[in-house]
Amino acid sequence: MKNLLKQIGKALGYFAVYLVTSNVVTMVFSLILGYVKGKEYKAAGMSYEEGLELLKADQAAMTGIILLISAVLTLLIYFIVEKVKKSSIFKEADIKPATGKQIGLSVVGALGAMFFMNFMLTILPIPQDLLGDLTSGVSKLTTYPFWQAILANALLIPIMEEVLFRGYIFSRLEKAMPSIVAALISSVVFGICHGGLVWAIWAFLLGMFICVVRIKSRSIVPGIIIHIIMNTYAMVVSYFPVLENITYPVMYTLTAVGGILMAVYVVGILKDKNYSDKEQAKVVVTESK
């Protein structure tokens, strides 16, 4: 019980860094932007209501920058914390090199999840009020420039989230409970952090999917690759509606292909000899001593 509470406390500590950093950065940007823009609106003779509407639009346009700074600052804090502890973020978050086969399988898995999970949202009879939450979340992405979305949402946020959820949180929980339980808990938290019900379920499934390779490889690098590819896809289709005219036969076909690729991915990592639990066994033996 003592070890369980200790590891949960560590996981919560890393999670708190993420929450506090993102909220502080958002608050500081809002205060600065409100002060600067407020003076401009007042000088232009705008009413409070008019200024407030414009401020909301200006804040939305800055969201990409806020996300970018939050992700970089969170990773920087983790890096500094590990330096103070005389450790390394690479060691503590299991950022270890991946083989060419592992990277290839990760790309296959990402493509499979990309088609299967996204198109299933359209195929399944999900109520429109629930999909509305997903749609509104996606629409917020296009309020800021595409380059910001690529740097923040498609690159830095996936890296930061994998370091946090599959690196720090999962690895701490796994030291005090079975891997599958640690995967479930970390994926639930990951889902909740993504907002509404549909978003949360989607993120939970993605988290569990990535945890499969995380458990086998003892590294978060393959998961980072999957996360980056899937987020890049989401950014591209959000800013460039290339799938608007897709027909249902094509959608069903791509969904089936995605399911097959996901199956190839799972079978591949289970059979890949490079994916092993040897390092975890070493850790267990060391701790038992």
DSSP 72-125: HHHHHHHHHHHHHTT--HHHHTT-----HHHHHHHHHHHHHHHHHHHHHHHHS-
For residues 167 and 190, the answer to whether their CB atoms sit within 8 Å is no
Cα–Cα distance, 52 to 33 (Å, whole number): 12
Instruction: State the Cα torsion 258-264-267-270 to the nearest 10°.
Output: -90
Residue 282 is predicted with a pLDDT of 42
Q: Which two tokens stand for residue 80?
A: 């500094």
Residue 283 is predicted with a pLDDT of 41
Residue 54 is predicted with a pLDDT of 83
Cα–Cα distance, 175 to 277 (Å, whole number): 14
Query: Taking Cα atoms as reference points, which of 157, 208, 158, 181 lies closest to residue 7?
Result: 181
- Amino acid 192 reads I
pLDDT tens-digit profile, the chain (289 residues): 888 889 899 999 999 999 999 999 999 988 888 888 888 887 888 877 777 888 888 888 888 899 999 999 999 999 999 999 999 999 999 998 878 888 888 888 888 888 887 777 677 666 666 555 555 555 566 678 888 889 999 999 999 999 999 999 999 999 999 999 999 999 999 998 887 777 888 889 889 988 888 888 888 998 999 999 988 988 888 888 777 777 878 888 888 898 898 888 878 877 776 665 444 444 433 443 4
Classify 134 as helix, strand or coil: helix
